[in-house]
Structure 1
Amino acid sequence: MTAMTLPEITPYTSADHDWLVEAHGRLYAAENGFDASFPVVVDAVLRDFETAHDPTCERGWILRDGARRLGSIFCVREDDRTARLRLFLLEPEARGTGQGRRLLETCMGFARGHGYRQIVLGTHESHRAACALYARNGFACTRSTPIRNYGQALVEQVWERPL
């Protein structure tokens, strides 16, 4: 990130697809030991979003510093009153700089503005910095379940907050 300019939050487009799949695969493998099945899931989520999302109540964003992509977040419809946060990612250089909070606020503001009454997300207990960010922003962990996925023993968590 450049010190002089604040990274821009821009709408997701299909041109971001390959980067987002690659970044998820690369970072989750390096930081969590996830196997090659994880980017396949990210690819499927993005393909579904690109072909079936409702732009009146669902959106994705990319954090950019010039031409460099630094992060992402998505807001999708769970049901009439509930939004789901998905594909929240920050490159290591953008972490600890307030950019995660900016992305989270963008997503929650969109959800609130589109009539959702609550927002939910799924994550893993091992994502401690993300979980701390959620807790600081009014989310509560409502369920923790030990699972085996992506080649790892994990604790899957559901976090929720009213909007």
Structure 2
Amino acid sequence: MNTPTRAATVPADAVKAVRRFNRFFTRRVGVLDPYLGSNLSLTDVRVLYELAHREAPVASELARELGLDGGYLSRILRRFETAGWITRSASARDARQSVLTLTPTGREVFEPLQQRSRDEAAALLAPLPPARQQELVAAMARIETLLDPASAAPASTRVAVLRDPVPGDMGWVVQQHAEIYWREYGWDSRFEALVADIAAQFVRKFEPAWERCWMAELDGDRVGAVFVVRKSATTAQLRMLILTPQARGLGLGARLTDECIAFARAKGYKKLVLWTNSCLTAARGIYAKRGFQLVKSEPYEGFGQLLVGETWELRL
């Protein structure tokens, strides 16, 4: 009996979705047109790009990096050499290899193409507002990481996206609060009930002119959230700031807090308040650095623990 290949286990609708996306994207970025308005192919330009950006490149490295047949690449390089775009010199590392170097003429050909490519990428993003631009870039990075995990960028260089909530996000916020606070602080299910009630009240009584929620994503995954709710005509309240462990240390907690402050100021609130607990040292540090003042501290027993509740205020 034949053993099924991995490809045979992929659902047909998933295959169709990938092919549909390929058709959409190649059409959208103009790959089917003369590439970048030149008489060169996409492969030609990719080879020029590698020659321009690699230090002492040799043909075998280019073939491996671009996944090209050696004979096909050799024909491209001969064409470039005939046009006076590249020169060859003996490699100091391997005498059997030739180092390929773009000539000044070759750079004159390549550099306008590179600028045109930048301009086209900018034109693709320009119609989108900044948040959507970031969302698109993060989605592209997510695709790249899923298809090639080795290409994943370090956490410090990933693009984080803040977006409005969609159905399902409130459930995620409640779940993350329950799981993280139980795991890290031992808080029981009564805390989950409290968060669920706050989230439900936000949805039921939401005032879009005065209130806001931001969901944070990293590489397409939800990693955080924060809320601003209307407490009175002059006072807003920051609520339910949460970050998953994998998102910590990237400045997202500070960024979410800054969004709340900017929103409250823009809406004309005079004061932004929040309630937290003394054990939440990272969050307290974020608030203190932004000028929040601790105005009330009170011990209490809650969620199965002995805690110290704190009220903080920021004059806007």
Per the TM superposition, whether the score is higher than 0.5 is: yes
Q: CA deviation at 1:67?
A: 2.9
Number of matched pairs: 163
Rg larger for = 2
**Same amino acid, percent of matched pairs:** 35
CA contact (8 A) 1:146 1:156 kept: yes
Task: Give the Cα–Cα distance (whole angstroms) in 2 for the partners of residues 76 and 2 of structure 1.
Answer: 35
Q: CA deviation at 1:13?
A: 2.8
Which has the larger helix fraction? 2
Q: Secondary structure at the match of 2:241?
A: strand
Q: Tell me the equivalent position of 1:13.
A: 166
Which has the larger strand fraction? 1
Q: Secondary structure at the match of 1:89?
A: strand
- Establish whether residue 54 from structure 1 lines up as the match of residue 204 from structure 2: no
- Establish whether residue 101 from structure 1 lines up as the match of residue 262 from structure 2: no
Q: Secondary structure at the match of 2:231?
A: strand
Q: CA deviation at 1:78?
A: 0.8
Q: Secondary structure at the match of 1:29?
A: helix
CA contact (8 A) 1:122 1:157 kept: yes
Task: Give the Cα–Cα distance (whole angstroms) in 2 for the partners of residues 2 and 15 of structure 1.
Answer: 28
RMSD value, Cα: 1.3
Q: Tell me the equivalent position of 1:129.
A: 282
Greater RCO between the two (CA within 8 Å, min separation 6)? 1
Task: Give the Cα–Cα distance (whole angstroms) in 2 for the partners of residues 66 and 93 of structure 1.
Answer: 12
- What aligned pairs does 1:5-154 form with structure 2 within 5 A after superposition? 5-154=158-307
Q: Tell me the equivalent position of 2:94.
A: none
Q: CA deviation at 1:144?
A: 0.4
Q: CA deviation at 1:2?
A: 5.2
CA contact (8 A) 1:83 1:119 kept: yes
Task: Give the Cα–Cα distance (whole angstroms) in 1 for the partners of residues 259 and 294 of structure 2.
Answer: 21
Residue-by-residue CA offset, 1:130-160 (whole Å, 9 max, x unaligned): 1111101100110000001111100000000
Task: Give the Cα–Cα distance (whole angstroms) in 2 for the partners of residues 140 and 109 of structure 1.
Answer: 17
Q: Secondary structure at the match of 1:69?
A: strand
Task: Give the Cα–Cα distance (whole angstroms) in 2 for the partners of residues 91 and 2 of structure 1.
Answer: 19
Q: Which amino acid aligns with 1:161?
A: L
Task: Give the Cα–Cα distance (whole angstroms) in 2 for the partners of residues 81 and 61 of structure 1.
Answer: 21
Q: 1:113 to 1:35 in 2, by over 3 A?
A: same
Q: 1:52 to 1:32 in 2, by over 3 A?
A: same
Q: Secondary structure at the match of 2:213?
A: strand
Q: Tell me the equivalent position of 2:313.
A: 160
Q: CA deviation at 1:117?
A: 1.0
Q: Which amino acid aligns with 2:243?
A: L
Residue-by-residue CA offset, 1:70-97 (whole Å, 9 max, x unaligned): 1110000011111100010111121121
Q: CA deviation at 1:15?
A: 1.9
> What TM-score, normalized to structure 1?
0.95
Task: Give the Cα–Cα distance (whole angstroms) in 1 for the partners of residues 153 and 206 of structure 2.
Answer: 33
Q: 1:2 to 1:93 in 2, by over 3 A?
A: farther
Q: CA deviation at 1:39?
A: 1.0
Question: Which 10-residue stretch deviates more, 9-18 or 20-29?
Answer: 9-18
Q: Which amino acid aligns with 1:149?
A: G
Q: Secondary structure at the match of 2:171?
A: helix
Structure 1 residue ranges without an equivalent (≥5): none
Structure 2 residue ranges without an equivalent (≥5): 1-151
Q: Secondary structure at the match of 1:93?
A: helix
Task: Give the Cα–Cα distance (whole angstroms) in 1 for the partners of residues 211 and 255 of structure 2.
Answer: 18
Task: Give the Cα–Cα distance (whole angstroms) in 2 for the partners of residues 77 and 121 of structure 1.
Answer: 12
